[in-house]
Amino acid sequence: MSQSQKPAARRAAVSSDAMFSTLRGLWPYLWPADRADLRARVVVTFVLLFASKGATMAVPFLFKWATDALTAEVAAGKAATPDVGFWALVIGAPVALTLAYGLGRILMAGVTQLRDGLFAKVALNAVRRLAMETFEHMHALSLRFHLERKTGGLTRVLERARSGIETIVRMLALQLAPTIVELVMVLGVLLFAFDWRYVAVVSATVVLYSLFTYVASEWRLAIRKEMNESDTDANTKAIDSLLNYETVKYFGAERWETARYDRSMARYEKATVNTYTSLAWLNAGQALIFSIGLAAVMVMCVLDIRAGRQTVGSFVMVNAMMIQFYIPLNFLGFIYREIKQAIVDIEAMFAVLQVAPEVTDRPGAPDLVVSGGTVRFEDVRFSYDAGREILKGISFEVPAGRTVAIVGPSGAGKSTLSRLLFRFYDVSGGRITIDGQDLREVSQESLRAAIGMVPQDTVLFNDTIAYNIRYGRPAASEAEVEEAARLARIDGFIRATPKGFKTEVGERGLKLSGGEKQRVAIARTLLKAPPILVLDEATSALDSHTEKEIQDALDRVSEGRTTLVIAHRLSTVVSADEILVLADGKVAERGCHAELLAKGGLYAALWNRQREAEDAAAVLARAQAEEALEALPARHPDEEGMDEERVRAVG
C-alpha cells in the first residue's frame, strides 16, 4: 500500500486534538470496510453488551424480591413453623428467587465473557493493522531520518505505541461503552423504583467522581510522560552499550557504562515512584467521593422505609445496585487514565507517522525495465544540508556489463553516489538513469530489485546463515542457497560448523569473522542475481590475505554485470575498465589504471602514498619478527634445526 493510499483515519489521528482525533481515527480499524466477519462480531458484541447489562439490572431486583419474600415469611411466622414440609420450603418464593438471583449472576458473567471473547479478534486485528502500518511507514522514511534517530528509542516507541493502541481499543469497546450503558440503566431503574432524589444524588456522585478523575489524571499526565522519557533514555543507553560490547571492553569502560545506565535508571525510579504515589491519591479521592454518594442514597432509603414508602428489600436492592455500579464506575476512572496514558504513549508514534517520506514514488510510477544495465550520472548535484554541496556536477557512465571504479580521498562523495543510485536520497540537480530511465520516474521497489550491494560493513540478521543468504531471494530453494554459498566460497566454512546452514550468526553477525560476513553478503547478492552491482569499499576493512580471497569472489560476482566499485584500496580496482578520481565533489581524473599512473596526478599520488604505507607496514612486520627472533633462547651451534627455527621465526 503506497503512502498516499493510507487510511484517512491516520491523518485524523494525528491532528491537534490528540484525544478525540485518536478516538475518531480508531473507528475504521474497529469497523473495517474489507472484513464483513469482523463487522458482524462488532454487531454481536453490542447485542451481547445490552443483554449483559439487562441481566446486570435484573440481579438487584431479584435480590430485593427474595429479601422481601423472606421478610414477609418471617413476619408471618412461616419460616419458624416446624410442620412445613421440606419440598414446600424448597419451592417457596424466597428460595426460588434466591436461585433466580444466582442464575442471574451466572448469566451476567457468562454473557460478559462471551462478549469479550468475541470482540478480542476485532481488537487485536485493529492493533495488528495499526502496528503494521506504523512499521511500514518507518521503512518508508528516508535514510536521513534513521541516521538521526536512535534505534533503541525508536523500537521502544513502537513497542509502547502498540500496547497503547491495544489499551485504547479494548477500553473503548469492553469498558467505556458498557459503563455508559450501565449508568443510563441505573438512573432509569432508580427513577422507576424510587424517585428523582436518588437520580439526583447518583448523578451528582458520578459528575463529581468524573471531574475529580479528570483533574487528577491531567495532573498525572506530566508525571507519566517523564517516566516514559526516562524509560526510553535508559533503554536506549542499554542497547547502545550492549551493541558496542567490544568497544566497552577495549577501553575498560564497564564502570563508566554502568554508572551512565544507573543515572538513567535513577531518573526512571524517581519518576515511577511519583507515578504510583499520584495513583494512590487518585484512588483514595475516588473512593471517598463514591462512599459519600453511597451513604447518602442508603440513608434516603432508610428514611423511606421508615415512612413506609419502601421495603427492606429496597434497602438491599439500592445497596447491591450501587456496589455493583461501583465496579464499572471505578473502571471509568481507570479507563480515562489508561486512555490518556495510552495517548501519551502513542504521541511519539503519531509524530513518526506525521513525518513525510523524503523519497516517494510518483503516482502510477512504472517498474524499471533493465535491458542492458547502463548506468549514467548526468551533471548530478547533491547536498545533505543546504549550503554545503557534496556533489558538484558529476557526470559519468557505467556501460552495460562493464566495471567502473570510484576512488578518492575521504569526504569526496564516493559513498554518496551509491546512496543516490539506490535512491535513498533524490538528487538536487541533474539526473541518474538506468538504460535511459530516470530513477525518479520508476518505482523504488523495482529499482532496488535490479541492484545488488556488497557494503563495507556487512550487518547480518540475528538468525541462521541460511536465513541471511536467502534474504537475497526469500523464495529460493535450499539447493539455490547452497549453490550461492559455494560460488561465494563460504560453503567449506559452513560444512565445518556443527549446525551447517542452521548456524546462528549472532547479533549483527558478530559470531562470524569479517571475511565470513563478507562472503555471506556475496552469497546473498549472488542469490539475488541483480543485473547491476555496487561494491562499496567491500574489502577495505579486511586483512591482505582475506582481501585477496574476497576480491576473487567479487570478481566472479561481477562477471557479466554492470558494476560500480567504490574503493579505498586502489589495489582492488586496477583491473576496472575505467577509474574515476573524485576530489571536492567533482571528477578530477578518469582513465584506466596505467593511464592515471602515467598522468602523475592525484591518482598517482594516492597510489604512491598507499604503496609507501604498505611498504612501511611490511618493514615494521619484519622488524617485529626479527625482535621476536632475538628474544629466542641461545642454543648450541651443533643443535640440529636451529637455522630452520630462525627462518620460521622471521617469516
Q: What pLDDT score was predicted for residue 18? A: 61
Q: What is the mean pLDDT of the chain?
A: 78
- Please identify which residue in the block is written with the cell numbers 543546504: 386
Q: What pLDDT score was predicted for residue 265? A: 85
Read off the amino acid at residue 383: S
By DSSP bridging, strand 586-591 and strand 578-583 are antiparallel
- Please identify which residue in the block is written with the cell numbers 585477496: 548
Q: Where are the alpha helices (DSSP H) in 149-253?
A: 151-171, 177-193, 196-243, 245-250
Contacts 24+ apart (CB under 8 A), 67-71: 67/311, 67/312, 67/313, 67/316, 67/317, 68/311, 68/312, 68/313, 69/93, 69/94, 69/97, 70/94, 71/311, 71/312, 71/313
Contact 433, 397 (CB under 8 A): no
| Residue 304 pLDDT level (bands cut at 50, 70, 90) | confident
Q: What is the mean pLDDT of residues 472-495?
A: 87
Checking if the pLDDT of 322 tops 90, the result is no
Q: How far apart are CA 373 and CA 341, in angstroms?
A: 53
| Residue 573 pLDDT level (bands cut at 50, 70, 90) | confident
| Residue 6 pLDDT level (bands cut at 50, 70, 90) | very low
Q: What pLDDT score was predicted for residue 11? A: 38
For 214-228, the DSSP string reads HHHHHHHHHHHHHHH
Checking if the pLDDT of 380 tops 90, the result is yes
The CATH homologous superfamily of the domain defined by 459-529: P-loop containing nucleotide triphosphate hydrolases (3.40.50.300)
Q: What is the DSSP letter of 612?
A: H
Which range (102-116, 297-311, 592-606) has the least confidence? 102-116
Q: What pLDDT score was predicted for residue 90? A: 43
Contact 405, 567 (CB under 8 A): yes
Checking if the pLDDT of 379 tops 90, the result is yes
Q: Which helix (H) or strand (E) holds 403?
A: strand 403-407
Checking if the pLDDT of 301 tops 50, the result is yes
Checking if the pLDDT of 642 tops 50, the result is no
Checking if the pLDDT of 650 tops 50, the result is no
Q: How far apart are CA 69 and CA 65, in angstroms?
A: 6
Q: What is the pLDDT of residues 332-346, one digit of tens each?
A: 667 776 777 777 776
Contact 401, 562 (CB under 8 A): yes
Q: What is the pLDDT of residues 142-189, one digit of tens each?
A: 777 776 665 556 677 777 777 887 787 777 777 777 878 878 888 888
Q: What pLDDT score was predicted for residue 17? A: 59
CA distances from 93 to 73, 97, 161, 419 (A): 9, 6, 54, 84
- Please identify which residue in the block is written with the cell numbers 541533474: 430
Compare 9 and 265 and report the one with higher pLDDT: 265
Checking if the pLDDT of 192 tops 70, the result is yes
Start-to-end C-alpha separation, the chain: 61
Q: What is the DSSP letter of 501?
A: G
| Residue 632 pLDDT level (bands cut at 50, 70, 90) | low
Domain boundary assignment for the chain = 3-354, 373-450+530-599, 459-529, 610-644
Q: What pLDDT score was predicted for residue 149? A: 65
By DSSP bridging, strand 391-398 and strand 586-591 are unpaired
Read off the amino acid at residue 330: N
Q: How far apart are CA 576 and CA 77, in angstroms?
A: 113
Q: How far apart are CA 522 and CA 516, in angstroms?
A: 10
> Fold match between 373-450+530-599 and 459-529?
yes
| Residue 442 pLDDT level (bands cut at 50, 70, 90) | very high
CA distances from 312 to 72, 306, 412 (A): 10, 10, 92
Angle, to 10 degrees, between the axis of helix 312-354 and the axis of helix 151-171? 150
- What grid cell was written down for 17? 486534538
Q: What pLDDT score was predicted for residue 547? A: 66
pTM, rounded to two decimals: 0.62
Q: Quote the percentage of the chain above a pLDDT of 90.
A: 8
Q: What pLDDT score was predicted for residue 544? A: 65
Signed CA dihedral, 252, 253, 256, 262: sign only: negative
CATH for 373-450+530-599 (3.40.50.300, 3.60.10.10, 3.40.50.2300, 3.40.50.2000): 3.40.50.300
Read off the amino acid at residue 366: P
Contact 510, 249 (CB under 8 A): no
CATH for 3-354 (3.30.70.1250, 3.40.50.720, 1.20.1560.10, 1.10.599.10): 1.20.1560.10
